[in-house]
Structure 1
Amino acid sequence: MSLPATAQEVLDAFAQCPGWEQRARLLMQWGERLAPLSDAERSEANRVHGCESQVWLVGEQRDDLWHFRASSDARLLRGLLAVLLVRVEGLHGSELAALDLGDWFTQLGLQRQLSPSRSNGLNAVLQRMRAIAVD
């Protein structure tokens, strides 16, 4: 499965970072790129449960491909969401179902910095994406 162009851009950018501090800074910058969600989209129905922080996720299918937007009240998590969103952008439901989240964050050099709770939260986001894609 080839990477979407923006996902490859993220991968290349993170590969240039020699250490965690630079990756964390880059993560924050990517988080600032997230399109804001409206107050209506930040509803309980769109909230992802299983995250310690508040996370909202909305998805829509266009031409059989999935497009998601997300937001969080936590800065670092917004960055993690941003790099997750670029990885899943424009996937078919079957590709979304097959995505290995741990592998993606390992490729970015972020896996070791993900606490178990943060890792569980990101998995909850991916599970919610898969659920949206099935409905």
Structure 2
Amino acid sequence: MATEAFESIVEDFEFLEDWEDRYRHVIELGRAMAPLDDALKVPATKVDGCASQVWLHIAPEGGRFHFDGDSDAMIVRGLIAVLRALYNGVPVDRVPAIDAQGELARLELQDHLSSQRSNGVKAMIQRIRETAAAAA
């Protein structure tokens, strides 16, 4: 059920043998993402439950799910990039059916993130699912 972009990240992770290399790769994914316009960093786009500042601007287009995001923490920007690869381009009505935790488990992220970061990822996924369900 994963997108081609997410499968590409899974393949990259298979070639990276240790967690430090994977961690750096996640950070690089975040660096490659365009920053979110400051005008979109408002209370309505802020995600509560994250240790760092996180904003998700969700704007489905043409029946497909799309969001952009940003954070003041580089690893979290990378996690946003991973979630974008998992969700962007998926039909809006299919977003709630994606087993995000199962897909992310393929990257073994849960084993290497602090509990605060893991809770932040869960909060981002919850926001994505709720917004998609409302839009569907």
TM-score category, normalised to shorter length: over 0.9
Moved more, 107-116 or 25-34: 107-116
Q: 1:46-89 deviations in whole A, cap 9, x for unaligned?
A: 10011111000011111211101010000111111111110011
**How far apart are residue 116 of structure 1 and its match?**
1.8
2:10 alignment partner in structure 1:
11
Please give the alpha-carbon distance, in whole angstroms, between the structure 2 residues aligned to 1:99 and 1:121: 18
Matches of residues 23-34 of structure 1 in structure 2 within 5 Å?
Answer: 23-34=22-33
* Secondary structure, counterpart of 1:62 in structure 2: coil
| Aligned 8 A contact 2:60 2:92 in 1 | no
SS state at 2:16 partner? coil
- The share of aligned pairs that are identical, in percent, is 37
Gaps of 5+ in 2: none
Match in the other structure for 1:95: 94
Cα RMSD between the aligned structures?
Answer: 1.3
State the partner residue of 1:85.
84
Q: Deviations over 1:17-50 (max 9, x none)?
A: 1111110111111011112111111111110011
1: CA distance, partners of 2:108 / 2:123: 20
| Paired residue type of 2:79 | L
Correspondence for 1:58? 57
TM-score after normalising by structure 2 = 0.91
Q: Which runs of 4+ in 1 moved over 3 A?
A: none
Structure 1: any 5+ residue segments left out of the alignment? Answer: none
